[in-house]
Amino acid sequence: MNRKATALDVAKLAGVSRSAVSLVLNGRGDGNVALESQQRIREAAATLNYTPNKIALSLRNRQSRIIGIVSDQVVTSPFDGNIIAGADAVAREHGFVTVVMDTELDGSRDEGAVETLLDRQVDGLMYVTVGLRPLHVPANMERVPSILANCFDDRPEAGVGAVIPDEVRGGREAAEHVMSLGHRDIAFLAGDSLTPAAPRRIEGYRDAFLRAGLPVNEARVLQVGWDIDAGFHGAMKLLDVAEAARRPTAILCANDRLAIGVVLACYRLGLSVPQDISVMGYDDEFRVAKSMVPALSTMALPLREMGAAAMTALLGDVTHHRTHVAEGSETDGAPGGSGTETMVPCRLVVRESTGPVPEGR
């Protein structure tokens, strides 16, 4: 056969009706077509190398099988692209494709980006950000099932669901890791209060002390920023003292870049990591944490897992919404979702920068 096989060709080879072929190959055969006939249809389709026309199928089902993704900087940034990768993998597994638009941190472009995707008849929308933050959700985003990844609705009564990292648990598990090595004098170099991640990670640090029945030394908690130089200068304040007993034995950092600064400060002062000071990062930044000397112990952000979880939830909403539309019944609230917040745990990665507490401390 020189031409592409059609559903009618499959029907003739299988000895069934054209409608039976459509039902079976579109996943609606059970209860409508005999099992024996279903088997013959699948065998005929395989023999003829036949696949349904996806465009025609989308028109019949009133679905584009496209999910629109808006990002603030994920596409043009070396960070957090794994969120989109995780989301795209789940979408493809379920027969959907993704279309991504990047606003390059220009909030004024949010609504326009969403409208552009809506014009393409997307079945659902996801908004992804670099770094955890509240999001002023574009109003037009709620016209279809929608979800947020690595950000959350800034309205008091959130309308759009979100999938975010469990930063409190991450901060607690980072502190518990060094505590398990015998450390009790543990400092925390945080980022700044402008982003929600830092205070949540500090909360987790404090929670670890509370659970261990130990007091928190608030003088050991410094909000210094996020970059290498901030880590360096913050560590110098903690470590450049005459008496070793006045130094913390471990320093937790709110990201891996701060941890690099801490290691550099240790080298400047002639201190060894982890023999004199244990250093813990956060993020497990690609080509940074693992490549450091010593390689950084850190908390890995669950980027790919967040993307996958967000897409799984979104596709569930898409299916639910389309079913109600097809049946002509009311949907539960706006298609944009219920505002549910899903926490995805970070993962402890133990490498060479953390070790037992020094003798005598």
Report whether 74 contacts 130 (CB < 8 A).
Answer: yes
Q: Please report the pLDDT score of residue 56 as a whole number.
A: 52
List, for residues 171-207, the tens digit of each pLDDT value: 999 999 999 999 999 999 998 878 899 999 999 999 9
- Bridge partners of 11? none
List, for residues 164-175, the tens digit of each pLDDT value: 999 999 999 999
pLDDT band, residue 29 (cuts 50/70/90)? confident
pLDDT band, residue 319 (cuts 50/70/90)? confident
CA dist., res. 242 & res. 11, Å (int): 87
Structure tokens at 3: 């031409």
The average confidence (pLDDT) of the chain is: 88
* CA distances in angstroms from 197 to 173, 183, 301, listed in the order given: 15, 24, 11
Helix H or strand E encompassing 161: strand 161-165
Sequence-ordered list of residues with C-beta below 8 angstroms from that of 303, at least 6 positions apart, any chain: 80, 82, 83, 86, 150
One-character DSSP codes across 110-179: HHHHHHHHHHTT-SEEEEEEEEEEEE---GGGGGS-EEEEEEEE-SSS--SEEEEE-HHHHHHHHHHHHH
- Bridge partners of 101? 70
List, for residues 227-248, the tens digit of each pLDDT value: 999 999 999 999 998 787 889 9
pTM of the model: 0.78
Structure tokens at 299: 């908390």
Judging by beta carbons within 10 Å of its beta carbon (0-12, 13-18, 19+), is residue 150 exposed, middle or buried?
Answer: buried
Report whether 181 contacts 188 (CB < 8 A).
Answer: no
Does the pLDDT at position 327 exceed 60?
no
